[in-house]
Chain A
Amino acid sequence: MTLDATDRRIVTALQEGLPLVSAPYAEIARRLDMDEAALVERLARMKARGAIRRIAAAPNHYRLGMTANGMTVWDVADDRVAELGALVGALPFVTHCYERPRACPDWPYNLFAMVHGTSRGEVEEKRARIAELLGDACAACDILYSTRILKKAGLRLRQKG
């Protein structure tokens, strides 16, 4: 799926976020010199195509006291990873969940689930709940805590046309 020039202008205008005013779409439309209805129609289309997942607040886990962040990684039987990945992803404390390729011999893990908690102890408890869910389908697991954010840049879309 590609975005046309107008979609890209909209994405660029919304990269910093939606203005916190009573009629935010009308305000963005005014900045882009468009009709509010035309803007809303394009946003609805981008949502339908998955280019926009939702319009919402991004909570700061650290500021909400969720200072422990563990990337849990699991070696799950290939024929069960789709079914079990969906269950792990649906757990309320899992914020990202992906199947990724193994890099054997030293990286047998194919399921990655990010877990946040107020302490490492809490993250460990959550990890145990995932282990329980995976049961015999899981041959090995590990947890990688983040100790330092080295870089964090937002999405930047290059301007085309």
Chain B
Amino acid sequence: MTDMTDLTEQDRAILNAIQDDLPLSHAPFAGMAAGLGMSEADLLSRIRWLKDQGIITRFGPFFDASAMGGAFCLCAIAVPEEDFDAVMIQVNARPEVAHNYQRTHRLNMWFVLATETPEGIDAAADAIEGETGLKVRRFPKLQEFFIGFRVAA
């Protein structure tokens, strides 16, 4: 595993550059490479290395599934500590659960439901309530605020 301290100044410059939107041009990495003072081939192999090392998880389009007709909802459950793992298995088994985090609060399980239709959200949340016997709190987004996304490396 590479540590952050193993990243060179050039790696950090690359990490910052590749968080910007890539142009839709024939050879989009060429201009970025020129800006970084390196060859296109070297840049591509370094991006591959960053991906192999897990420093970036993915390079590609960020899709907004809600703009593609899907529905999403952040949900939370207050799970009794002794039942936590059993409930986690029940919740994670549902394909509608996109991701799930344990958090430090009485509401200690937070997950996102992703379904093809808006009605699918309540159906999935109701099914989880039925299966676990626990109330599923629903926090759909009312408004999203613009974010910068960039992580300064």
Chain A positions near chain B (C-beta within 8 angstroms): 1-3, 11, 14-18, 20-26, 36, 40, 43-44, 46-47, 49-61, 63-66, 71, 81-82, 85-86, 88-90, 92, 94-101, 103, 106-107, 110, 112, 116, 142, 144-153, 155, 157-158
Contact = CB atoms under 8 A, between A and B. Distances in A.
Contacts of B47: 20, 57
Contacts of A106: 106
Interface residues of chain B: helix, strand, loop or mixed (majority): mixed
B67 A146 contact: no
Interface residues of B, number: 72
B51 A92 contact: no
Contacts of A158: 116
Nearest to A100: B139
B148 interface: yes
A63 B53 CA distance: 9
B141 to A, nearest CB: 5
Interface in B4-22: 4, 15, 18-22
Most buried by B among A44, A55, A66, A158: A55
Given A100-B141, A146-B103, A155-B98, A17 B60 contact: yes
B82 interface: no
B22 A150 contact: no
A16 to B, nearest CB: 7
Interface in B34-77: 40-41, 44, 47-48, 50-51, 53-65, 67-69, 74
A97 B57 CA distance: 22
A147 B30 CA distance: 41
B44 A54 contact: no
Contact of B48 (A20, A22, A63, A82): A20
A2 B69 CA distance: 6
A118 to B, nearest CB: 9
Leading 3 A-B pairs by shortest Cβ distance: A89-B145, A17-B60, A54-B21
A59 B55 contact: yes
Given A54-B62, A71-B110, A155-B114, 13 more contacts: A18-B59, A18-B60, A22-B40, A51-B63, A55-B24, A59-B19, A63-B53, A88-B145, A100-B141, A144-B105, A146-B103, A151-B91, A155-B98
